[in-house]
């Protein structure tokens, strides 16, 4: 082992030992002004959209190739699995600018100053999709909210599950029919303003309002623009709950953005490559190429 390789090995070991605590300190400092503000004003509760949970998975498991190697007379591909960031640390995408506020929001939730919640219809939306979409597909993936319990505001809606051959309505169809038949006046008013295509989001906003949430936290930017463009119209004008992106909430609470790539070594006991990222800077599902 040459001197340069020894140095890289030593630095990597130091990152495993001190990286998590250093990253936690940075996140804690970034949320300090928000903690002081919430200490004076009191804790708040937030209904979290599934779009936020999707983007909270900031690192995924990739196969890192080390090239060809001889195995007897055969040439085989060699490599190893490692945790890599989804996006480059210098990414300036709108998604990443919002994701940078999630470490601080998660920290405040762990400190008990923010209570993150979910709801029955949101849980049903997740039920219809692969679990890994919101928790991570690979064993080395990192989810910023993985250790935070999000209690439901209400119960799961009634639904019927059956095999296809019975020709009963699908879960999606049952949800569509249930919402279409709802007589809730606030929900109907929100649908009228936001449009029938946003009926599920209208229900989530209604749920946040009924349960006294500070805001409905989402990364559906079209919904935010649609909602904020109608702030002077009823019933939106009378709502106490807000519809906010992580960046809007972070700026409101005075959270400083933190690059989630700093958290690459959190709870890691396996290879980590913070110098890599997905070339397209998008999450890779189980059926996509996970080689890097």
Query: Regarding predicted confidence, which is higher, 193 or 166?
Result: 193
Comparing C-alpha atoms, which of 104, 125, 39, 142 is closest to residue 258? Answer: 104
Mean per-residue pLDDT for 176-186?
Answer: 88
Of the given ranges (6-15, 99-108, 262-271), which has the lowest mean pLDDT? Answer: 6-15
Query: Regarding predicted confidence, which is higher, 86 or 66?
Result: 86
pLDDT attached to residue 150: 96
pLDDT attached to residue 176: 83
Comparing C-alpha atoms, which of 12, 13, 26 is closest to residue 275? Answer: 12
Give 173's pLDDT tier (boundaries 50, 70, 90). Answer: confident
In the β-sheet with 44-48, what is the strand arrangement from edge to edge? 151-152, 114-118, 44-48, 215-217, 242-244
**9 pLDDT more than 80:** no
Give 209's pLDDT tier (boundaries 50, 70, 90). Answer: very high
Mean per-residue pLDDT for 37-56?
Answer: 97
Cβ atoms of 189 and 196 within 8 Å: the answer is: no
Whole-angstrom CA distances from 279 to 23, 133, 137, 276 are: 25, 19, 18, 9
pLDDT attached to residue 230: 94
Mean per-residue pLDDT for 32-41?
Answer: 96
- How many Å separate Cα 153 from the centre of its chain? 19
**1 pLDDT more than 60:** no
In the β-sheet with 74-85, what is the strand arrangement from edge to edge? 74-85, 57-71, 142-143
pLDDT attached to residue 18: 87
Cβ atoms of 276 and 83 within 8 Å: the answer is: no
**275 pLDDT more than 90:** yes
Report the distance separating Cα 27 and Cα 254, nearest Å: 13
Please name every residue paired with 48 in a beta bridge, in sequence order, or none if there are none.
217
**287 pLDDT more than 80:** no
Of the given ranges (98-107, 213-222, 280-289), which has the lowest mean pLDDT? Answer: 280-289
Query: Regarding predicted confidence, which is higher, 153 or 73?
Result: 153
Residue with tokens 């998604």: 95
Please name every residue paired with 61 in a beta bridge, in sequence order, or none if there are none.
83
pLDDT in tens, 126-139: 988 888 999 999 99
Length of the chain: 292
Give 45's pLDDT tier (boundaries 50, 70, 90). Answer: very high
Instruction: Give whichever of 1-5, 9-13, 142-146 has the largest mean pLDDT.
Output: 142-146
What is the 8-class DSSP label of residue 291?
A: B
pLDDT in tens, 232-244: 999 999 999 999 9
| Sequence-ordered alpha helix ranges (H) in 137-255 | 171-180, 185-194, 199-210, 221-228, 246-253
């Amino acid at each position: 082992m040459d001197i340069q390789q020894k140095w890289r090995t030593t630095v990597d070991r130091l990152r495993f030992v001190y990286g998590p605590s250093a990253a936690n300190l940075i996140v804690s400092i970034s949320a300090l002004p928000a903690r002081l503000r919430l200490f004076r004003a009191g804790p708040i509760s937030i209904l979290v959209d599934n779009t936020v949970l999707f983007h909270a998975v900031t690192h995924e498991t990739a196969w890192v190739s080390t090239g060809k190697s001889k195995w007897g007379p055969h040439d085989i591909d060699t490599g190893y699995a490692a945790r890599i960031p989804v996006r480059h640390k210098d990414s300036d995408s709108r998604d990443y600018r919002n994701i940078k506020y999630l470490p601080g929001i998660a920290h405040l939730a762990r400190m008990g100053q923010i209570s993150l919640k979910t709801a029955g219809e949101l849980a049903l939306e997740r039920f219809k999709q692969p679990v890994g979409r919101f928790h991570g597909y690979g064993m080395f993936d990192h989810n910023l909210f993985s250790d935070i319990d999000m209690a439901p505001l209400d119960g799961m809606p009634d639904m019927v599950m059956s095999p296809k051959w019975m020709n009963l309505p699908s879960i999606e169809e049952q949800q569509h029919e249930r919402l279409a038949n709802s007589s809730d006046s606030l929900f109907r008013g929100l649908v009228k303003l936001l449009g029938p295509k946003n009926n599920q989001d209208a229900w989530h906003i209604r749920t946040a309002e009924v349960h006294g949430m500070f805001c409905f936290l989402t990364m559906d930017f079209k919904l935010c623009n649609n909602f904020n463009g109608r702030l002077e119209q009823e019933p939106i004008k009378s709502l106490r709950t807000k519809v906010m992106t992580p960046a809007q909430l972070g700026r409101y609470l005075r959270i400083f953005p933190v690059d989630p790539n700093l958290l690459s070594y959190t709870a890691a006991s396996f290879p980590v490559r913070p110098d890599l990222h997905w070339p397209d800077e998008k999450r890779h599902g189980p059926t996509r190429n996970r080689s890097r």
